[in-house]
Amino acid sequence: MSTEFRHIVRIIDRDIDGSKTVVDALSDIKGIGLRLANIIAAKMGLSPSARIGYLPSEKIGEIEKMIKNIDESGLPSWLLNRRKDIETGKDRHLISSDIDLQVKADIEREKALWSWRGYRHAYGLKVRGQRTRTTGRTGKTVGVTKKKR
C-alpha cells in the first residue's frame, strides 16, 4: 500500500470514489457484482476492506487487465454473464457499455426473427410472462369498468 491517496480512481472508463473499499469500488463497474468483486480481490491478493484510493497505479492497471480478460482467467463459466454466446458459441463476460449494446442487439435479433419475445418487444408489451390484465396499462386507461347487472 502506498501512503499517497487518490480521491478519484479511474478503472475501465469509470470514475470511482477513492474512499470506497476495493470490493465496493469494483462492484460499481457495470457487469461486476459483489461476488465477482470479492473473487477478483482474492485473485489479486488484495484485502477486500482496503481502500482503493491507497492502491498504487500498477495494481490498478493489473486489476483493469484482469477485468478485461476475465473470461480467460480460469473462473468457472457460471460466474460469467454471457455464457454460450450466440455468435461465437463461447463463454464471455461483458462489462460497461458492451452490456447495453449486446442487449440491444439481442432484442433487435428477436424482432427480426419475429419470435414471440420479439413480437412482445416490438409492440411494447410485457415479455416475461407477467399478467397484463391489470398492470402495465398505458395511455388513457384510468380505471376498471364493471358490467351492468
Q: Is the pLDDT of residue 117 over 70?
A: yes
Residues 24 and 73 both lie in one domain: yes
Q: Which domain holds residue 45?
A: 8-78
Residues 54 and 109 both lie in one domain: no
3-state DSSP call for residue 134? coil
* Amino acid identity, position 133: R
Among the listed residues 86, 91, 47, 59, the one whose alpha carbon sits nearest the alpha carbon of residue 73: 91
- pTM for the full predicted model: 0.76
Cell output for 37: 468483486
* Amino acid identity, position 115: S
Residues 17 and 59 both lie in one domain: yes
3-state DSSP call for residue 107? helix
Q: Judge whether 26 lies within some domain.
A: yes
Q: Is the pLDDT of residue 146 over 80?
A: no
Angle between helices 57-68 and 34-44 (to 10 degrees): 120
**pLDDT digit string (tens) for 50-84?**
999 999 989 999 999 999 998 888 888 899 988 89
**pLDDT digit string (tens) for 4-42?**
888 999 998 889 998 999 999 999 999 999 999 999 999
Percent of the chain with pLDDT over 90: 54
